[in-house]
Amino acid sequence: MKNCNKMILSYIPIIVVLGALGTVDCLECYSCSGVSSVNSCISTTQCRTGQSCYANSFTSGQDTKFTMGCTNNDQCGIQSGIVGRDVSERETSCHECCSTARCNNQLCIHFKPTTCMDDVKVDCAYLNAMFNICKDIQHSKNVCPKFCGLCTLVDGNWAEWSQWSGCDVTCEKGLQTRKRTCTNPPPAHNGLDCVGNKTDTKTCLLQPCPIHGGWTGWENWGACSVTCDVGIQRRVRNCTNPYPSRFGDHCFGDPLEDKICVQGPCANGGWSTWGAWTSCSVTCDGGLRSRLRKCTNPVPSLHGQYCIGEVSEVEDCNKQECASVVFLAHALSTYSVSNGERFIFTTNLVNVGGAYSNTTGYFTAPVDGSYSFSYQFCFLTLSKNMYINIMINNSYYSASHFYEANTYVCNTSKVFVYLKKGDRVWVRCSSADSGTKMLENESHMNSFSGILIRS
């Protein structure tokens, strides 16, 4: 073994956690790694020049492990910063050096704070005066717990892990989680919080996930279904992005989409030929007639233009003056009356149009139209009954009943009728008692009259 040069500071009575208090060459130190007790380490190692013996401990939960050996002197300073060390950054490890042979089996084995006894190898009052050791709670709790007032300090320790949670997914790869709390015991009075993670995770692998269908983008719009007017355009999409599998859902929605497309008009409307004229509204004195045409040649398509112009046409008609027909005749050809006799009036006071004949007693309609006829008869003697009619084409259109005895009486009758040209009108006796005679003078006139109202 080499000769060793020793340099010891005589004014320091202890050699502990204060770092390198001197230098010793060629030290022999205990050397072990991860042992449960410093006393269980029996192997040694030879240090190099500039090295000292050291011990290092680390506490995890309730277990403390020690590592011992040689370390460079520059690593033997105040490892945990006794002076001015931030309490929030304290460590749970111990690193101490000594500079005599095999001295490191007495390092890092201080009492726990719960024991509340100061280390007999240390002058706590001197260290606190020199280095303010009480401010480094991590080291002072192991060396001078009683002096520094740390008897109530409790470092936190982890409780047991909780059960693993369920997998956070329902298929394929996910995570399970478990938790623990720093409650066994919880830290108190500036004790250290538990070191490590509050949560732990592990991978869980389930069955493959179903693949739900997804739509592709819409394809381009197809051509319009028609070449003119209004039609339909269509576009499609497919449920292949991705295609559903493993019992995945099919795409929701419609694979087809339609929209209206408007082309040019198929056809504009065209007029048919004019229809026939209607009958004139009158036969004379000017009337109106009309005719129609339709927009069907061709019919306009949905967007085609309707025909331009009027659908109807009106014009005047029968502008010629209407015929004037009026007559008034009196003076019977005979004043004795018998059954079935046609009365003939011999004198025309008026006969415009010459339609009444004084020889036959007939009125012959010269034009189609609406007419009015009337008569008056006066009786000299009337034993019982007599009936007189206005006849048109052998049909009865009017009838009067005369019933008076030994009294002068005049009776009248009137009729309105539409006649066609050539129709004949006259007056006849359909029934009369024998001996009936007519009376005629200035105050009792027998007459037959008629007038064309409108042709």
Q: Which pTM does this prediction carry?
A: 0.34
> What is d(CA 23, CA 98) in angstroms, rounded to the nearest whole number?
9
Helix (H, G, I), strand (E, B), or coil: what is residue 73?
helix
**Over residues 289-300, mean pLDDT:** 93
Query: By percentage, how much of the chain surpasses pLDDT 70?
Result: 84
Model confidence at 113, pLDDT cuts 50, 70, 90, reads low
Please, where in the chain does CATH 2.60.120.40 lie?
Answer: 326-454
- Give the pLDDT confidence score for residue 9 in this predicted structure: 33
> What is d(CA 451, CA 352) in angstroms, rounded to the nearest whole number?
9
- Give the pLDDT confidence score for residue 403 in this predicted structure: 59
321 has a pLDDT exceeding 50:
yes
98-102, 227-231, 265-269, 418-422, range with greatest mean pLDDT: 418-422
Question: Which residues fall within 8 angstroms of residue 86, CB to CB, at 6 or more apart?
Answer: none
Distance, C-alpha 373 to centroid of its chain: 81
Summarised one tens digit per residue, pLDDT across range 361-393 is: 999 999 888 999 999 888 776 555 666 776 777
Summarised one tens digit per residue, pLDDT across range 221-231 is: 999 999 888 89
Task: Classify domain 268-321 at the CATH superfamily level.
Answer: Thrombospondin type-1 (TSP1) repeat (2.20.100.10)
- Give the pLDDT confidence score for residue 166 in this predicted structure: 93
User: Domain 326-454 belongs to what architecture?
Assistant: Sandwich (2.60)
Summarised one tens digit per residue, pLDDT across range 115-159 is: 688 777 788 888 888 888 888 887 788 788 888 888 888 888 899
- Give the pLDDT confidence score for residue 90 in this predicted structure: 38
- Give the pLDDT confidence score for residue 379 in this predicted structure: 76
Please check whether residue 167 is in contact with residue 176, taking contact to mean a CB–CB distance below 8 angstroms.
yes
Of the two residues 212 and 392, the one the predictor is more confident about is 212
**Over residues 65-77, mean pLDDT:** 88
Please, where in the chain does CATH 2.10.60.10 lie?
Answer: 6-143
**Over residues 154-175, mean pLDDT:** 91
Task: Classify domain 6-143 at the CATH superfamily level.
Answer: CD59 (2.10.60.10)
Summarised one tens digit per residue, pLDDT across range 20-52 is: 344 445 789 999 998 888 888 989 999 998 899
Q: Return the amino acid letter for 370.
A: S
> What is d(CA 325, CA 260) in angstroms, rounded to the nearest whole number?
71
Question: Which residues fall within 8 angstroms of residue 109, CB to CB, at 6 or more apart?
Answer: 38
- Give the pLDDT confidence score for residue 79 in this predicted structure: 52
> What is d(CA 7, CA 22) in angstroms, rounded to the nearest whole number?
5
Please, where in the chain does CATH 2.20.100.10 lie?
Answer: 268-321
- Give the pLDDT confidence score for residue 60 in this predicted structure: 63
Its sign, for the CA torsion 328, 331, 336, 340, is negative
